[in-house]
Structure 1
């Protein structure tokens, strides 16, 4: 257990700025994908043609 904590501590230390940046980027991309799928699910069956507006 202690070795896992050490590995995680090294992975997210200040010297590994790239890792934090990549993790944040993946988190933002996952949130965007979830929001996109949610919007697709919410608009399923709604007439969104140009005549609707």
Structure 2
């Protein structure tokens, strides 16, 4: 949200990033209670420099 995304967009980006990380083998991000993801992974999803 600090980057200018609305709340729903930010939640969607985190959700898609978590799915991406689980596919890459990071099973830690498979839980519902995890709400933080690494910046490098968000960069892979959104394709903007953070």
Q: TM-score range by the shorter chain?
A: 0.3 to 0.5
> For the pair shown, which has the larger CA radius of gyration, 1 or 2?
1
Give the TM-score, by structure 1 length. 0.39
RCO higher in 1 or 2 (8 Å CA, sep ≥ 6)?
2
Give the TM-score, by structure 2 length. 0.41
Higher normalized helix content (fraction of residues): 1
